[in-house]
């Protein structure tokens, strides 16, 4: 079989299954379902014309041919894996990232650890900054912002759509629960200096009036702490509270409404694969966040 048509992915699935003994485990290793592994192996048996596994379904036995084949595959894949990892670790470079303050605290920094694991030699130098993007004057490699990206100024990749909604601590939910916006009247509404009209705009969308009398905080971060302490309800972008909602620390009784703005990562054109690797890592994380 010519090298060009080697079914590499199927071979990897087979190698993994043979090494681990169960399709189940192989599926985990490959990050897919076992149905997928099953298909890959069946396909491989077909293209090679070799029976690879015998025995009852709940206890697979590799055939002799499989046993003879596996060691070389394991060796070959190991070799490739090592070489790739080595190459990745030799590439060092510093990436300067400018990111919205709250987003970096509540989304980016917690996830950066993963990036570091994958690209140990790429250092991320993070600056928090909410101002407009200007690559000519600033020396950032990547800038993460929210709004409508400027097509003319820089390359960019969309990360997620901005969506906001009221959040509050489950501890201060009124007895009757919260089923319509008016139920929020009993709860203090908290504000930030930077987006004073957050509640008003939301009220317009859902067609309600609510008293605008709660305390005003310097930063979104402090307001969120207050909300979690049960001091009131806040209008929050989904990305910034996603983790808290998943953990049950906050609830969002009316979900989140899209604002039409987007979070995006801007970067200079043709700035090299490390930057692109970082940006596509951002996209990957964003994709995971959406689900």
Partner DNA sequence: CTTGTTAGTGAGGTTTTTGCACATGAGGAG
Partner DNA sequence: CTCCTCATGTGCAAAAACCTCACTAACAAG
Residues that bind a copy of itself (CB under 8 A): 1-6, 8-9, 11-12, 16, 29-31, 45-51, 65, 68-69, 72-73, 75-88, 90-91, 118-119, 122, 272-274, 276-278, 280
| Residues 6 or more apart in contact with residue 12 via CB below 8 angstroms | 30, 77
Shortest gap between Cβ of 274 and a copy of itself (angstroms)?
5
From the list DNA, a copy of itself, none, which binds 280 (C-beta under 5 to 8 Å, kind-based)? a copy of itself
If one asks whether residue 290 binds DNA (CB under 7 A), the answer comes out as no
For DNA, which residue of 19, 29, 39, 271 counts as binding (CB under 7 A)? 39
Print the SS3 string covering 217-230. ECCHHHHHHHHHCC
Distances in whole angstroms, Cα of residue 22 to Cα of each of 18, 32, 46, 263: 7, 14, 20, 42
If one asks whether residue 134 binds DNA (CB under 7 A), the answer comes out as no
Q: Which residues pair with 145 in a beta bridge?
A: 264
For DNA, which residue of 19, 43, 268, 277 counts as binding (CB under 7 A)? 43
From the list DNA, a copy of itself, none, which binds 33 (C-beta under 5 to 8 Å, kind-based)? DNA
**Of 27 and 252, CB closest to a copy of itself:** 27
Q: Which residues pair with 237 in a beta bridge?
A: 164
113 close to 83: Cβ distance less than 8 angstroms: no
Shortest gap between Cβ of 233 and DNA (angstroms)?
32
Shortest gap between Cβ of 152 and DNA (angstroms)?
15
Classify burial at 239, counting beta carbons within 10 Å of its beta carbon; exposed 0-12, middle 13-18, buried 19 or more: buried
Classify burial at 144, counting beta carbons within 10 Å of its beta carbon; exposed 0-12, middle 13-18, buried 19 or more: buried
CA distance 165 to 199: 9
CA distance 48 to 263: 48
If one asks whether residue 16 binds DNA (CB under 7 A), the answer comes out as no
If one asks whether residue 159 binds DNA (CB under 7 A), the answer comes out as no
Site map (CB under 7 A) of DNA, residues 173-212, x = contact? ----------------------------------------
Distances in whole angstroms, Cα of residue 72 to Cα of each of 4, 86, 173: 18, 21, 62
Shortest gap between Cβ of 230 and DNA (angstroms)?
34
For DNA, which residue of 19, 28, 38, 155 counts as binding (CB under 7 A)? 38
Shortest gap between Cβ of 54 and DNA (angstroms)?
10
For DNA, which residue of 1, 3, 31, 117 counts as binding (CB under 7 A)? 31
121 close to 89: Cβ distance less than 8 angstroms: yes
| Residues 6 or more apart in contact with residue 219 via CB below 8 angstroms | 101, 102, 192, 194
If one asks whether residue 35 binds DNA (CB under 7 A), the answer comes out as yes
From the list a copy of itself, DNA, none, which binds 240 (C-beta under 5 to 8 Å, kind-based)? none
Contacting DNA within 56-95 (CB under 7 A):
56-60
Q: Which stretch binds DNA (CB under 7 A): 32-40, 97-105, 130-138, 220-228?
A: 32-40
Nearest Cα to 266, choosing from 145, 147, 161?
Answer: 145
* Contact set with DNA (CB under 7 A): 7, 9-10, 13, 17, 22-24, 30-36, 38-43, 53, 56-60
């Amino acid at each position: 079989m010519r090298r060009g048509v080697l079914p590499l992915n199927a071979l990897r699935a087979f190698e993994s299954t043979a090494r681990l003994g169960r399709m189940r485990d192989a599926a985990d290793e490959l990050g897919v379902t076992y149905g997928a592994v099953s298909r890959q192996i069946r396909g491989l048996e077909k293209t090679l014309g070799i029976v690879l596994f015998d025995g009852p379904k709940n206890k697979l036995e590799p055939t002799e041919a499989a046993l003879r084949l596996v060691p070389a595959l394991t060796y070959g894949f190991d070799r490739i894996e090592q070489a790739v990892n080595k190459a990745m670790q030799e590439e060092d470079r510093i990436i300067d990232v400018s990111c919205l303050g709250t987003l970096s605290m509540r989304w980016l920094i917690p996830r950066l650890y993963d990036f570091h694991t994958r690209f140990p030699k790429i250092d991320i130098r993070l600056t928090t900054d909410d101002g407009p993007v200007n690559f000519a004057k600033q020396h950032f490699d990547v800038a993460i912002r929210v709004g409508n990206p400027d097509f003319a100024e820089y390359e960019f990749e969309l990360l997620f759509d901005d969506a906001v909604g009221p959040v509050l601590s489950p501890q201060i939910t009124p007895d009757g629960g919260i089923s319509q916006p008016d139920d929020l009247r009993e709860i203090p509404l908290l504000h930030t200096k930077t987006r004073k009209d957050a509640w008003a705009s939301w009220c317009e969308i859902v067609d309600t009036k609510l008293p605008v009398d709660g305390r005003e905080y310097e930063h979104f971060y402090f307001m969120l702490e207050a909300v979690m302490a049960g001091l009131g309800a806040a209008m929050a972008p989904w990305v910034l509270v996603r983790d808290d909602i998943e953990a049950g620390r906050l609830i969002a009784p009316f979900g989140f409404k899209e604002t039409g703005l987007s979070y995006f990562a801007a970067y200079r054109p043709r700035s090299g694969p490390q930057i692109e690797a970082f940006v596509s890592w951002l996209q990957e994380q964003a994709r995971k966040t959406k689900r």
